[in-house]
Amino acid sequence: MAELTYRDAVARGIAQEMRRDDRVVLIGEDIAGAGGVFKTTVGLLDEFGPKRVIDTPIAEQAILGAAMGAAMTGLRPVAEIMFSDFFAVCWDIVVNQIAKTRYMTNGQVTLPLVVKTGNGGALRFGAQHSQSVENWAMAIPGVKVVTPSTPQDVVGLMAAAIRDDDPVLFFEHKGLYASKADVPDGDIVDSLGTAKVRREGSDATILALGLMVPRALEAAESLARNGIEAEVIDVRSLVPLDARTILGSVAKTGRLFTVEENPRLLGWGAEIAAIAVDECFWDLDGPVQRITTPHIPLPAADSLEDLVIPSAELVATTVEKALQS
């Protein structure tokens, strides 16, 4: 057991898999010599050499296309898209190519690849470098979508994503890179499609993802001081979705809240709210409530960004108010 940052956990997860499987290769902008602009790939070039850890041009279509073509011909590439906002310049490769080729070819093509990317706000990078776009990804049949919130989950889910035979979009939260936690020694392999109950409670279920997980936990502590016991679930994987864990919790608590960093419309919580209303309406004691960033681009100024991304206080007051009414 040793303390590890979320950012170092990324490199540890990739290194763990590169050691056991020489088909695993890594490409991206500044990921080799520089160890990544967010330092999530430090040490990998030294350990695995330039044949397996490759700096690319700024050419996101070329990067994802290379990953796809390599995956369909025997490698298991990990590609980095530096900021998830940049998916907008290579979304064709994700949406039209990576997500659909297995289906269109009736299973002739298998695409074991991972696209890792820095997602989310809190670093004051403004509207084009702070977006939470996991809901874009979730909308496309054919890609798996993972968002870890702790260093241990980063290692384990990265390993699971690399071992998975389907394309996985791996959303690292930029606002969590500096966070630290104890991580067990040795290999860690987690399971895709599993949510985790981070805090048990009987009064309300709060779903969160990425940076919103620690904020939801902080909110739950403050609610507990007022006698409300909230259950906090780290959704971790949007596709596949662990609906069983989520609905099981709602059956127990009777209330459901989602805490989403994405802008309001069609955020991931909207789909889960719809599932809950469809499938456990009679377990609900009140309306499902979504706590999201408003439907605006993210402002750069720290004071404004803090105002619009859901905070622990906003989560606590929303839940408390809802339960009192």
Partner 1 sequence: MRLPLSEHRYGEHEAVLPPPAQDRHDGADIDRDTRLRMYRKLQEMRQLEKRAYDLFMRQLVKGTSHLSLGMEAIAAGFGAAMRADDYTFATYRGHAHTLARGVGMTPLLAELLGRANGLMGGKGGSMHLTSVEHGMMGSYAIIGAHLTIANGAAWSAQYRESGQVAVCFFGDGTTNIGAFHEALNYAAVFRLPIVFVCENNLYMEYTPIADITAVPRPAADRATAYRLEPIVADGNDADDVYLTALSVLDRARRGDGPSLVEAVTYRHGGHSRADPGKYRPEPEVQAWKAYDPVTLYRNRLLRLGVQKAELDVIDKDVTDAVDLATEEAIAGELPPPASAFTEVWADGGSSWRN
Q: Which sequence positions are flagged as catalytic?
A: 129
Q: Is 24 in the site for partner 1 (CB under 8 A)?
A: no
Q: Is 274 in the site for partner 1 (CB under 8 A)?
A: no
Q: Is 277 in the site for partner 1 (CB under 8 A)?
A: no
Which of 7, 12, 102, 196 binds partner 1 (CB under 8 A)? It is 102
Q: Which amino acid is at 227?
A: G
CA neighbours closer than 13 Å in the CB half-sphere of residue 27: 23
Query: 126 near 297, Cβ under 8 Å?
Result: no
C-alpha dist (Å) from residue 165 to 61, 102, 109, 112, 147: 21, 11, 10, 4, 18
Cα 126 to the center of its chain, rounded Å:
20
CB of 118 to partner 1, least distance (A): 21
What's the CA gap between 311 and 216, in Å, rounded? 8
Query: 26 near 78, Cβ under 8 Å?
Result: yes
What number of other Cβ atoms are within 10 A of residue 253's Cβ?
Answer: 22
Q: Which residues contact 306 (CB under 8 A, 6 or more apart)?
A: none
Q: Is 166 in the site for partner 1 (CB under 8 A)?
A: yes
Nearer to partner 1 among residue 59 and residue 127 (C-beta): 59
Which of 9, 10, 78, 93 binds partner 1 (CB under 8 A)? It is 93
What's the CA gap between 192 and 241, in Å, rounded? 9
Which of 71, 122, 154, 220 binds partner 1 (CB under 8 A)? It is 71
Q: Is 104 in the site for partner 1 (CB under 8 A)?
A: yes
Q: Is 169 in the site for partner 1 (CB under 8 A)?
A: no
Nearer to partner 1 among residue 244 and residue 321 (C-beta): 244
Which of 74, 282, 303, 325 binds partner 1 (CB under 8 A)? It is 74
Q: Is 96 in the site for partner 1 (CB under 8 A)?
A: yes
Which of 1, 2, 33, 73 binds partner 1 (CB under 8 A)? It is 73
Q: Is 126 in the site for partner 1 (CB under 8 A)?
A: no
Kindly identify the residues of this chain, within the stretch 45-64, that bind partner 1 according to CB under 8 A.
51, 54, 56-57, 59, 61-62, 64
Helix pair angle (212-225, 312-324), 10° resolution? 50
What's the CA gap between 48 and 25, in Å, rounded? 9
Q: Is 105 in the site for partner 1 (CB under 8 A)?
A: yes
Which of 13, 28, 112, 156 binds partner 1 (CB under 8 A)? It is 112
CB of 280 to partner 1, least distance (A): 14
What's the CA gap between 69 and 25, in Å, rounded? 13
DSSP state of 292: E
Window of 104-112, 125-133, 171-179, 282-290 that interacts with partner 1 by CB under 8 A: 104-112
Which of 49, 221, 226, 244 binds partner 1 (CB under 8 A)? It is 244
**Residue among 157, 179, 182 at smallest CA distance from 170:** 157
Q: Is 33 in the site for partner 1 (CB under 8 A)?
A: no
What's the CA gap between 12 and 1, in Å, rounded? 14
**Interface with partner 1 by CB under 8 A: which residues?**
25, 51, 54, 56-57, 59, 61-62, 64-75, 77, 92-93, 96-97, 101-110, 112, 141-142, 164-166, 193, 239-244, 275
